[in-house]
């Protein structure tokens, strides 16, 4: 009985320490990959749906809008491709 409660206490301590490290060191970096400071701080469409969740990810593409738009229009399950894993 003592070993079980000791093991549970150690597991709980490990989980809490991992969550703390994530919150302090990684959460901000992960939730804004590729986005500039301005992009992360401005309000965007859909922010009011789930105000407790906040993440902005971005990439920079050095190409004309006309070239990019063709690729964006084919994204999706019923279009040119559902770019995801097979099991989804």
Q: Please tell me the predicted confidence (pLDDT) of residue 86.
A: 59
pLDDT by 10s per residue, the chain, length 88: 678 999 999 999 999 999 999 999 988 888 888 888 888 888 888 888 887 877 888 888 889 999 988 888 877 666 666 666 655 5
Q: Please tell me the predicted confidence (pLDDT) of residue 27.
A: 86
The ranges assigned to domains in the chain are 1-30, 32-82
CA distance 37 to 32: 9
Task: Count the Cβ atoms, other than its own, within 10 Å of residue 40.
Answer: 16
Q: Please tell me the predicted confidence (pLDDT) of residue 16.
A: 96
Q: Please tell me the predicted confidence (pLDDT) of residue 1.
A: 65
């Amino acid at each position: 009985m003592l070993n079980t409660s000791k093991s549970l206490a150690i597991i709980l301590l490990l989980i809490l320490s991992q969550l703390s490290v994530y919150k302090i060191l990684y959460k901000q970096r992960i939730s804004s990959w590729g986005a500039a400071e301005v992009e992360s701080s401005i309000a965007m469409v859909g922010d009011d749906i789930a105000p407790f969740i906040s993440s902005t990810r971005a990439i920079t593409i050095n190409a004309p809008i006309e070239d990019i738009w063709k690729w964006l229009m084919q994204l999706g399950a019923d279009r040119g491709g559902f770019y995801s894993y097979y099991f989804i």
